[in-house]
Amino acid sequence: MRTRIHEKFKDLFGEGGVQYASAGRVNLIGEHTDYNGGYVFPGAIDCGIIAEIKVNGTDRVRAFSLDYNEEVTFGLNEEDKPSQAWACYIFGVCRETMKRGGKVAGFDTVFAGDVPLGAGLSSSAALESTFAFAIEDINKNGIDRFELAKIGQMTEHHYCGVNCGIMDQFASCFGKQGSLIRLNCKTMEYKYFPFNPQGYKLVLIDSCVKHELASSAYNKRRQSCENAAAHIRKNHPEIEFLSDCNRLWLDEVRSEIPEEDFLRAEYVIGEVQRVLDVCDALERGDYETVGEMMYQTHFGLSKLYEVSCEELDFLNKLARKMDVTGSRVMGGGFGGCTINLVKDELYQSFIDAAREQFAARFGHDPKIYDVVISDGARRLK
Ligand code: ADP
Ligand code: MG
């Protein structure tokens, strides 16, 4: 990919470009915890975006997407927003940098990526982080990594119509090879934990389905969580989010709230604890416990939070049947991928069985992505 990008850059813009990269992400555990002020636990992966960039001495950006085989030129004022969706990510990053008082010298770029689009691996965050990091490195505006992640997030909000949280951009800006990052979504404190599963592979199985109720169901889940927290707060005024509560406090209000809200809250409180348990297990190198927690999360998402679906439960059950170490639905739910921690010796038979049995049951093939926890935003040598 680097060579292809460089060749095209030379053709279009000549020598002297510098290459930057950033990555997609996975979230090992900590699902539906972000808006409850809990932890998420993502890491950058070994697929991402690479961009070659050179300042061009104008106040315009000329960008060539190798994957779409398309060139777009745009200015840097608010009214210059390009019509191509992919170019809006780059434009948005420039604008958000400028809104923070940063300088953005016009530049030429050729870029490409290998994050599957819309599979839940956040190709868009990879794209934003690559450019946010590169623009900072080139213009030296003194914007720190955390603010670079915010630039990516606000690009999605203001220029791409996606009201996302900070996790994806955080992971692609802060990702480190062999480390996952536990982010406290209330305080934004973070900590790295070692993730070097020798003898295991991390593999995603993409169900390639997206069930439609997702956004209304998402809002209902949020309301349930807020309602449970509001009732607990009457007894314990110090709590801000559901993640501040423990199981006993939830039990105190069980008769006051709908059973559905109770189950949602039970899941969230359990999930916050599971992230902590997984972090402890990783410090001991205990990947069997990590895997068991992943199954517990899947159970919670499926039976308590009710955001799984037939396809994902099928893949999870198959993993359990085949003695895969850990497996759970990853992301908001109602479709997308399962993330699986699989012993090397089981890997081939597991993905063969998943392909075959999933296709026989649902009439289409799943997609398989192997991932390795890798570096996030960086300048390439
Ligand atoms: P994801 O879950 O992968 O982030 P999104 O819909 O948020 O899915 O972002 C995908 C969009 O990001 C694409 O439609 C495209 O506009 C942009 N994008 C991602 N990767 C690339 C790439 N390699 N080249 C050009 N644009 C890309
Ligand atoms: Mg995205």
pLDDT of residue 14: 97
Answer yes or no: are the C-beta atoms of 245 and 239 closer than 8 Å. yes
144 is catalytic: no
pLDDT digits (tens, 9 = 90+) for 144-174: 999 999 999 999 999 999 888 899 999 999 9
Mean pLDDT (whole number) for 82-101: 98
Ligand minimally distant from the alpha carbon of residue 336: 1
Instruction: Report the predicted TM-score, pTM, of the whole model to 2 decimal places.
Output: 0.95
Mean pLDDT (whole number) for 250-262: 98
pLDDT digits (tens, 9 = 90+) for 271-316: 999 999 999 999 999 999 999 999 999 999 999 999 999 999 999 9
State how far the alpha carbon of 313 is from the alpha carbons of 36, 69, 175, 282, 301, in Å.
24, 38, 30, 26, 10
| More confident of the two residues 118 and 31 | 31
Share of the chain above pLDDT 70, in %: 99
Mean pLDDT (whole number) for 349-362: 98
CB of residue 118 inside a 6 A radius of ligand 1? yes
CB of residue 169 inside a 6 A radius of ligand 1? no
DSSP labels for 236-279?
A: -TT--SGGG--HHHHHHTGGGS-HHHHHHHHHHHHHHHHHHHHH
For residue 49, name the pLDDT band (cuts at 50, 70, 90): very high
DSSP labels for 181-208?
A: EEEETTT--EEEEE---TTEEEEEEEEE
How far apart are the CA of 123 and the centre of ligand 1, in A?
Answer: 5
How far apart are the CA of 21 and the centre of ligand 1, in A?
Answer: 15
Give the pair of three-digit tokens for residue 179.
């480390």
For 218, residues 6+ apart whose C-beta sits below 8 A from its C-beta are: 332
How far apart are the CA of 250 and the centre of ligand 2, in A?
Answer: 34
Average pLDDT over the chain reads 96
CB of residue 122 inside a 6 A radius of ligand 1? yes
User: Which of the listed residues 1, 49, 86 should we mutate to test ligand 1's pocket, taking the one with most ligand atoms within 8 A of CB?
Assistant: 86
Closest CA to ligand 1's atom 23: 113
Closest CA to ligand 1's atom 8: 118
Give the pair of three-digit tokens for residue 82.
């390009």
Share of the chain above pLDDT 90, in %: 94
CB of residue 127 inside a 6 A radius of ligand 1? yes
Q: Which of 171, 130, 155 is nearest to 42 (CA)?
A: 171
CB of residue 188 inside a 6 A radius of ligand 1? no
CA dihedral 327, 333, 334, 337 (to 10 degrees): -50
pLDDT at 217 over 90: no
pLDDT at 357 over 70: yes
Closest CA to ligand 1's atom 12: 124
pLDDT of residue 112: 98
How far apart are the CA of 216 and the centre of ligand 2, in A?
Answer: 19
pLDDT of residue 214: 67
Mean pLDDT (whole number) for 135-139: 98
- Tell me how far apart the alpha carbons of residues 166 and 184 are, in angstroms, rounded to a whole number: 11
Annotated catalytic residue within 108, 168, 206, 261: 168
How far apart are the CA of 247 and the centre of ligand 2, in A?
Answer: 34
- Tell me how far apart the alpha carbons of residues 175 and 45 are, in angstroms, rounded to a whole number: 8
pLDDT of residue 164: 86
Q: Which of 2, 11, 23, 15 is nearest to 111 (CA)?
A: 2
CB of residue 117 inside a 6 A radius of ligand 1? yes
Ligand minimally distant from the alpha carbon of residue 153: 2
Mean pLDDT (whole number) for 102-107: 98
Mean pLDDT (whole number) for 90-118: 97
For residue 328, name the pLDDT band (cuts at 50, 70, 90): very high
CB of residue 113 inside a 6 A radius of ligand 1? yes
